[in-house]
Amino acid sequence: MEASVVKLNNVPRTATSPRDKVRTVKELAGIAQQLRRAGKSVVQAHGTFDLLHLGHVRHLEAARALGDVLVVTITADRFVNKGPGRPVFGEALRAEMLASLHYVDWVGINESMDAVSAIELIGPSIYVKGQDYQDPQGDITGKISLERRAVESRGGRIHFTDEIVFSSTELINRHFNVFEPHVREHLDGLRENGGLAELTNLIDGIRDYRVVFVGDAIIDEYQYVLPMGKPPKESVIASRFQDYEIFAGGVFAAANHVASFCAEVDIITCLGGSDTHEELIRRSLRPNVRLHALKRPGVPTTLKRRFVDPSYMRKLFEVYVMDDEPLTRDLQSELDGLIADLAPRSNVVIVTDFGHGLIGPSSIETLVNSSPFLAVNTQSNSANMGYNLITKYPRADYVCIDAPEARLAMSDRISKIGDIA
């Protein structure tokens, strides 16, 4: 990705409003390049900054004192992974708030899960983080290590400020209504009764786990369109294309989530021989995730394309590109062999069964017989409604289904869900 070189004489040095300081990361890369040529040192800070507080203010003030120009990049809304209802403030508001600080020279919204791409483009002399990130043992996501390598590869260094520390997440959870009342009451009870420490210990206890995932490969695509109106000769709504996003979903999304707090994750799945999307999939996986993918000739990897009205984020309709016929006998045998090899060497086997033809009776038998701990999610969706039930698994140590799926499995739409469970 190349920087968009922005001539400094075209950049307002005295902003008429904070919004003038907010630029794209590409533009910031060009500005930084010009500043370096002028002999100026560029300092970069990065974060979510969802609720700007005194800790942020002191941190950024200390960062600005380290160089000539302070550039702050923030995580775009869709990459913020802080829990339900987050971010509280959208990316535009967060950027404008930071730009209102007089010692912040430039602000950019970073379209990535971490700061690596922004660091590589901007190339700061100093990359600044707070003291709460200084302990390598606390870097459970590995992001700080990646960011350190990125800044050092460009000749810069990382610096940890030593200022007063607050947590935006803790402040928001305590003082903003991001949770339903009963959820907040439950969380408060956990804090007061020591349950939070117990949960933390449980997570620490599985840090070294090896987890095997078996499940359907799914690509999730979102086409953002604006409805325009009804064509004169058709009974449909015409829409104007705006943008699109594509993600590795299905078993890949679940595996990435578990990989954020477990040491090793293996994925056993099957991709289509045509339109595999394998490059996207491998690029999306965390470093500690290994992919064991069979190839099914002549069919695509399942793709679910949603058409969404971005004004209210409402889905208009969906199109599935898929072949959900069962695997051939040879492929099924190969899949069963992978399960039989990897499952016994794991701590946990997690099955994400979307009912798209991957997991047949022989694979279920292999999973049941070879898994030390078997957790199963069978999803009922529009492609398999009524045909993909948890009852096809004769054994599971943990079952994850919702209320409608439980009712389908028990053929009971009347009883209280507590009685069904």
Please tell me the least confidently modeled range out of 182-191, 199-208, 211-220. 182-191
- Give the pLDDT confidence of 86-104 residue by residue, as tens digits: 677 888 899 999 999 998 9
What pLDDT sits at residue 289?
96
**Of 247, 284, 260, nearest in space to 211 by CA:** 260
Domain assignment present for 314:
no
Same domain, 361 and 327: yes
E strand map for 112-216: 126-130, 157-161, 210-215
Task: Report the alpha-carbon distance of residue 96 to residue 19 in Å, rounded.
Answer: 6
The CATH number linked to 261 is: 3.40.1190.20
Tokens of 343: 């499952």
| 254 and 403 fall within a common domain | yes
Residues 348 and 256 in one domain: yes
- Residue 2 pLDDT class (50, 70, 90 cuts): very low
Q: Do 158 and 186 reside in the same domain of the chain?
A: no
Is the pLDDT at 67 greater than 90? The verdict is yes
Would you place residue 137 in the very low, low, confident or very high pLDDT band (cuts 50, 70, 90)?
low
Residues 100 and 189 in one domain: no
Q: Are both 186 and 127 inside the same structural domain?
A: no
Helices and strands in the chain: count of H runs, count of E runs? 14, 16
**Is-contact 378 216, C-beta < 8 A?**
no
Write down the pLDDT at residue 108. Answer: 94
- Burial-class residue 139 by CB neighbours within 10 Å (0-12, 13-18, 19+): middle
Please tell me the predicted confidence (pLDDT) of residue 299: 95
Asked if residue 226 belongs to a domain, the reply is no
User: Which of 53-62, 135-144, 299-308 has the highest average model confidence (pLDDT)?
Assistant: 299-308
Are residues 39 and 186 part of one domain? no
Domain count for the chain, please give it. 3
The answer to whether position 237 is within a domain reads no
In a domain, 379, yes or no: yes
**Contact by Cβ (8 Å): 10, 30:** no
Lowest mean pLDDT among 27-41, 73-87, 248-262, 304-318: 73-87
95 is written with which tokens?
A: 């950027």
Residue pLDDT, tens place only, 234-287: 999 999 998 888 999 999 999 999 999 899 999 999 999 999 999 999 999 999
- Whole-number pLDDT of residue 14: 44
Strands 217-229 and 238-249: antiparallel
Residue 113 has pLDDT above 90, yes or no: no
Beta strand 302-309 pairing with 217-229: parallel
Higher-pLDDT residue of 132 and 273 is 273
d(CA 299, CA 310) in angstroms, rounded, equals 31
Tell me what percent of the residues of the chain surpass a pLDDT of 90.
Answer: 63
| Dist CA 158 CA 144 (whole Å) | 10
CA 266/CA 288 separation, integer angstroms: 9
Has residue 233 been placed in a domain?
A: no
Mean pLDDT of 414-419: 90
pLDDT value of position 161? 84
Domain harbouring 45, CATH code: 3.40.50.620
Please check whether residue 1 lies inside any domain of the structure: no
Is 16 inside any structural domain? yes
Residues 270 and 407 both lie in one domain: yes
Taking residues 339-363, report their average pLDDT.
97
Distance from C-alpha of 387 to C-alpha of 378, rounded to nearest angstrom? 10
Please determine, for residue 296, whether its predicted confidence score (pLDDT) is greater than 50. yes
Asked if residue 357 has pLDDT above 90, the reply is yes
Asked whether residue 273 falls in the same domain as residue 352, the answer is yes
Ordered strands of the 348-353 beta sheet: 289-300, 264-274, 210-215, 348-353, 374-378, 398-399
Taking the C-alpha atoms of residue 18 and residue 395, their distance in angstroms, rounded to an integer, is: 60
User: CA 369 to CA 372: how far, in whole Å?
Assistant: 9
For residue 32, is pLDDT > 50? yes
Quote the mean pLDDT of the chain. 87
DSSP assignment of 275-297, as one string?
A: S--HHHHHHHS-TTEEEEEEEEE
Could you tell me the pTM of the whole model?
A: 0.64
Residue type for position 314 = R
Q: Give the model's confidence band at 19: pLDDT under 50 very low, under 70 low, under 90 confident, else very high.
A: confident
Instruction: Report pLDDT for 185.
Output: 81
With respect to residue 224, please indicate whether it lies within any of the assigned structural domains: no
What residues are paired with 248 via a beta bridge? Answer: 219
Residue pair 303/327 in contact (Cβ under 8 Å)? The answer is: no
Structural domain span for residue 187: 179-205
Average pLDDT, integer, range 156-182:
67
In DSSP notation, 282-345 reads HHHS-TTEEEEEEEEEEEEPEEEEEEEETTTTEEEEEEEE---SPPPHHHHHHHHHHHHHHGGG
149 with 293, same domain: the answer is no
Specify whether 201 is located in the same domain as 153. no
Q: Per-residue DSSP letters for 21-32?
A: GEE-HHHHHHHH
Residue 402 confidence (pLDDT) above 80: yes
Q: Which residue has the tokens 């899949």?
A: 335
Query: Among 39-48, 77-86, 312-321, which is the least confidently predicted range?
Result: 77-86
pLDDT at 60: 92
Residues 192 and 81 in one domain: no
Q: Are strands 289-300 and 210-215 parallel, antiparallel or unpaired?
A: unpaired
CA distance 78 to 55: 24
Instruction: Measure CA 177 to chain center.
Output: 23
